[in-house]
């Protein structure tokens, strides 16, 4: 009774970034696509995955899933918007290699499986398998840092994005 009088529980601010897959973490400037490597969409990082299990890079919420399933929009509790772009030029594959495991509105953590990706199908189409993570609302970003590059495990803490 009178639930409307109760204060909404504030979600804790977690500004950590996590590896989306086990594999090789690289700086965004090393991604083999000029739109990403020149930071035209924003700053971030990428993981060249060892397998097709792709996890959330943040603790936050799913705000959009692209119709072609190659990208998922997420939002951190601090307001930063994150684009998880799965592969390079994979929009042309019309969703075939992607099995999305979340829906819009879902609350996610670094342990949430976002998608199962058929990496062999991406490679067979001569596309890159880099899983690119981009902070798209750079005007809100105060500080971005990667604390690790090289081999990472899925869900491993790899940096921070402060708003």
pLDDT at 98: 98
Contact residues for 7 (Cβ-Cβ < 8 A; gap 6+): none
| pLDDT tens profile 72-115 | 999 999 999 999 999 999 999 999 999 999 999 999 999 999 99
State yes or no: pLDDT of 146 exceeds 80.
Answer: yes
Residue 8 pLDDT: 54
Measure Cα distances from 86 to 11, 47, 91 in Å.
28, 10, 9
Q: Please say if the pLDDT value at position 11 is more than 90.
A: no
Average pLDDT over residues 138-155: 96
Dist CA 119 CA 125 (whole Å):
10
Percentage of the chain with pLDDT > 70? 93
| In the predicted structure, residue 6 carries a pLDDT above the cut 70 | no
* Residues 119 and 52 sit within 8 Å (Cβ to Cβ): yes
Query: What CA dihedral angle connects 77, 79, 80 and 85, to 10 degrees?
Result: 70
Active-site positions?
85
Does the domain spanning 13-162 belong to CATH 2.70.70.10? yes
Q: What is the mean pLDDT of residues 27-46?
A: 96
Question: Phi first, then psi: what are they for 35, rounded to 5°?
Answer: -60, -40
pTM over 0.95: no
DSSP helix/strand/coil, 41: coil
d(CA 91, CA 67): 9
pLDDT for residue 3 is more than 70: no
pLDDT value at residue 14: 84
Spatial distance between the Cα atoms of 58 and 5, rounded to a whole number of angstroms? 31
Average pLDDT over residues 26-35: 96
């Amino acid at each position: 009774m009178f639930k409307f009088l109760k204060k909404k529980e504030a979600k804790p601010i977690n500004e950590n970034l996590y590896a989306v897959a086990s594999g090789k973490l690289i700086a965004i400037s090393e991604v083999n696509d000029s739109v990403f490597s020149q930071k035209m969409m924003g700053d971030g990082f990428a993981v060249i995955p060892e397998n097709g299990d792709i996890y959330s890079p943040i603790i936050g919420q799913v705000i959009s899933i692209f119709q072609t399933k190659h990208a998922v929009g997420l939002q951190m509790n601090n307001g930063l918007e994150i684009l998880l772009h799965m592969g390079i030029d994979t929009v042309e594959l019309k969703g075939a290699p992607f099995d999305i495991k979340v829906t819009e509105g879902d609350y996610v953590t670094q342990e949430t499986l976002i998608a199962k990706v058929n990496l062999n199908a991406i490679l067979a189409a001569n596309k890159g398998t880099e899983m690119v993570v981009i902070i798209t609302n750079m005007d809100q970003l105060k500080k971005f840092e990667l604390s690790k590059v090289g081999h990472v495990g899925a869900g491993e803490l790899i940096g921070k994005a402060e708003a």
